Chain A
Amino acid sequence: MASNLTNIPQSMELVCPAGTPAALKAAVDAGAHSVYCGFRNETNARNFPGLNFSVKELRDGVRYAHQRGTNVLVAVNTFARAGDVGIWTKAVDDIAACGADAIIAADLAVLDYAHKNHPQVRLHLSVQAAAATPEAINFYAQTFGVQRVVLPRVMSVEEIEKLNKEISVETEVFVFGGLCVMTEGRCALSSYATGKSPNLTGVCSPPGDVSYDEEGDKLYARLGGFTIDGFEAGENAGYPTLCKGRFNANDETSYLFEDPVSLNAAALLPRLRAAGVTALKIEGRQRGKAYISQVVKAFRQAVDVLDAGGNAEAEVSAMLNAMTEGGRETTGAYKKIWR
């Protein structure tokens, strides 16, 4: 049986992104309780050029983190290809050999392999599994010994509280960063535009299919040749993710699915703690170490202040103001005032 994560004196664990070894060090040094990362291949859902870890880099990263009391969680959270599961099982073996603290997985085959071959390593259910019901989560817990589930960003705080009363595993929720408005693991929008998706190839709206074109005074962001958005001079730009595009429909131009805003649930930390949430996840493995350092410091301060009986919402929001997509933020589905 896998052990509990150690070195978490706070009431809630802060789980922080690390797209590179430098970002891992930045997150650890800024006060992350845990960092999460992935290998430089299609086994993880952030398979972007120049990002991620080699096996040696992971081994070194685990050593650096453990020496400073930080846990390392490694994502193998894409869905394995039928008849070609070799790189997924090798990734699981490598994680165990590197001494990482947990594997974050979504695919049944990967979960089964990890559970049978490395029962000493904790298993976390990735958000890519889109498990949001007690029935689904309890199945994963009973079948594969999953100890934590990362919840999709489509649930309200009330729903999370109710869920926590009906499951035996820990819950981890996203509190800051890019906001996936779909139920993760089940979105095929990127596939329609580019033939690639986070679920199978580890990339949503892959950068190789992205172009930014200046036309007159406007900047157009395109994905796979489709115009996703246009920005006036001086207007903040955004990444052309299909679900955050601005389109013409019924003679009106608007964001059809959701505005390109970042999630910031700093104001909801007390309610998330009361709802029984174990861990707070910061999105952004594709972001740089300057961003990582600032966001981790802000949220670590928020968690520390919360544990001391205070509320650091205003300070945290000021610290994070410049770090959000489109320069704007939302509490997402947690408050259900969201479109």
Chain B
Amino acid sequence: MKLSEVKEILNAEVVAGEEFLDREVKSAFGSDLMSDVLAFVKDQALLLTGLVNGQVIRTAEMMDIKAIVFVRGKKPTEDIAELAKEYQMVVMTTDYTLYPSCGKLYCAGLVPNEERVD
């Protein structure tokens, strides 16, 4: 799914990486726990989280995650957005909570390859 579609489906506002909305994501992972992101995320995933701090961006960078959606209307501060821009990430924010955000994307066809942990 293209990030521009993600933006539309979640009625999201782009706060960084507007120029990369053509990018494709193949799966998604929703979590507020960054250690679980480090444990379970696979390739080219979109991260949905309600946690807003610099470690979210750094965690995403470690996992080669190129797109993050902050849910529940959370807006990253300027320095967090700057860090994301440095890593050429797309960062969006949506007013939907985590469960409906994931549900809407899933229904629209963004289905992960692996739905269970090993």
Do they bind each other? no
